Structure 1
């Protein structure tokens, strides 16, 4: 996740400044930690350390700035702490453990605070408001509840990553962005938020990922999000959003938008093909090598240069199944408008089902409720005996880790039944391979 380069100081066995013992199959905290009074950097990630974090570990050094205990089997702390043990801490990573109680909020010096994928219960402490320099905040996939503190809007000048997915938060979503916001990722999906979408999101000019899916939001389509220049992923599925989607000249205007999921809402009206023709990503994609969507930053705790990389992730419905993407390939493209109340005629040039590549992997059930469709794999033949080709100018997929994809236009398969279904997934095979 990060790259370390030492810029000053010498380390000895009895006076260690940097100790990296990740992926060493440790079952206990190592004895070498005793009497380390100048330890700045401690990495014990990806081991089998289990049980509680002992008191003596918490008191090893007041100069510690980076602590990484992620991907272990830790259950908590063996003492009740009043003050946080590392007053100069800048990075705390406790992801993927078995913590049940929320750790003490780090000191105001904290830049990175990651406690995702635990079993933490309770509410977020109001002391979180002291972290005015926080860059990355991830508490996703826990059992947290309550209302989000409104002070989160004060972080937008520094906070880049906000991931609270998969908890039990309720109430309204606070106004998260002010002018000059540095937010790149906001994921509040799979909670119980209600009310309207905060209009302050239009201030997130650097926003790349916005995921508010699987909540109880009740609002019209956010036309005011269209002009965001860097938006790549917009997921609003499974809410109570309603009304017409709007004009294609103002909606989906973001030049980098590649993933759109507004399924399982109550949107109505017609959906003309001008929407898809306006999207930049359907014109041409030229990728050299396999890259993932991520946010990166650099900071220098105690004279050490750190490049921190946070890969974007999401959950979408792919071929009828909920699929988790812990990383998103740059060339991945997906559109899902299913389970809404769109109406109107389907253009004749897409009645026939396209052939080739990903389309040939779908079975009959993928087209249920769409009586106007014809061609393979359906038994209904099209009037034109010629199969409808997949309108992609060229696709080249190499068998190693490098690939190149180029396409001039994608015609998106549209279904018409109880709801309009549009789904095209490009790059799924490559993602699974990686």
Structure 2
């Protein structure tokens, strides 16, 4: 079996782990059902080795994604050396190797598209509209030939995994409506094929990368992240004034040797003034006493004689 499409039903069940035994499975769709519970995978090394399209969207899956979820997805892990997108390669590849004859509806860059013939080079993962939690595993960087990734409307936390920089042919990335925090990684600027990006309604913060195709994304791609600033957002980044130094910076730049010299000069001058003041005050007091004694001697000679004889 190469195609298993159970989408748009009313199936109530847990994740069908028995699907892993389908070694030739290329398309696996469970979207718009009532599946619930965590995704459980066995330790089979060849699980989903031929898988190109997985769509588990619009169910009630919970828990975190298994760390080994993408490790054996060989059809998505082959590194694509081509410099053209999968849409561009339609014109160049031999028609006999381009298509499968199966029909499926997938979400392509935010819109549902019916693929009447599946491209042999088309790869897509859609886990949107569930209740997944925890960090997005770094192992997502293994699927290097992935074109579309949608993990929107879940409860993912943590930061954007740095391993996304390995998805060099990724054309559409939707991580909106989660609880992802931290900064927008500069590594995402390496994804030069990325034409659709939605990081809105998260807890991202910091300044926007001002490089390459990030300059082409609109404001709507980043709405609801109150900590983000810089173009294309209307919220400007507030930088600290460059002409004002903090207290530590200011005190570290003081010339302490100069301060001590100034302190010494100031103290010396102060002591000199004090000494001069005391000298003048003593001399003045002596002159005053001489004047008083002279007055007493002239006006009261008998009293002065008595005081001198008594002393």
Larger relative strand fraction: 1
Question: Which residue of 2 is the match for residue 91 of structure 1?
Answer: 3
Aligned partners of 2:31 and 2:57: how far apart in 1?
5
Deviations 1:233-275 (A, max 9, x none): 11111111001113x2356168xx689611100234443xxx6
Deviations 1:122-150 (A, max 9, x none): 11121386222211111000001011011
| Match of residue 224, structure 1, among 167, 187, 194 | 187
Which secondary structure does the structure 1 equivalent of 2:149 belong to? strand
| Match of residue 52, structure 2, among 118, 135, 139 | 135
Aligned partners of 1:151 and 1:259: how far apart in 2?
35
Aligned partners of 1:105 and 1:258: how far apart in 2?
43
Aligned partners of 1:124 and 1:161: how far apart in 2?
18
Question: Which residue of 1 is the match for residue 83 of structure 2?
Answer: none
| Match of residue 160, structure 2, among 180, 197, 200 | 197
Question: Which residue of 1 is the match for residue 225 of structure 2?
Answer: 265
Sort the Cα spacing of 1:95 and 1:179 in 2 relative to 1 into closer, same or farther, 3 A.
Answer: closer
Which secondary structure does the structure 2 equivalent of 1:186 belong to? strand
Aligned length: 187
Which secondary structure does the structure 2 equivalent of 1:113 belong to? strand
Deviation at 1:232, TM superposition (A): 1.3
Which secondary structure does the structure 2 equivalent of 1:132 belong to? coil
* Kept after mapping to 1: 8 A contact 2:150/2:173: yes
Give the alignment's Cα RMSD to 1 decimal.
Answer: 2.6
Aligned partners of 2:8 and 2:143: how far apart in 1?
33
Which secondary structure does the structure 2 equivalent of 1:200 belong to? helix
Question: Which residue of 2 is the match for residue 152 of structure 1?
Answer: 69
| Match of residue 252, structure 1, among 200, 214, 228 | 214
Q: TM-score, normalising length from structure 2?
A: 0.54
Deviation at 1:202, TM superposition (A): 0.5
Question: Which residue of 1 is the match for residue 258 of structure 2?
Answer: none
Question: Which residue of 1 is the match for residue 129 of structure 2?
Answer: 166
Question: Which residue of 2 is the match for residue 398 of structure 1?
Answer: none
Deviations 1:179-233 (A, max 9, x none): 6711111111111110011111000011011101111111102222113121111
* Kept after mapping to 1: 8 A contact 2:181/2:205: yes
Aligned partners of 2:202 and 2:228: how far apart in 1?
14
What 5-or-longer segments of structure 2 have no aligned partner?
77-122, 239-311
Deviations 1:20-54 (A, max 9, x none): xxxxxxxxxxxxxxxxxxxxxxxxxxxxxxxxxxx
- The structure with more radius of gyration: 2
Larger relative helix fraction: 2
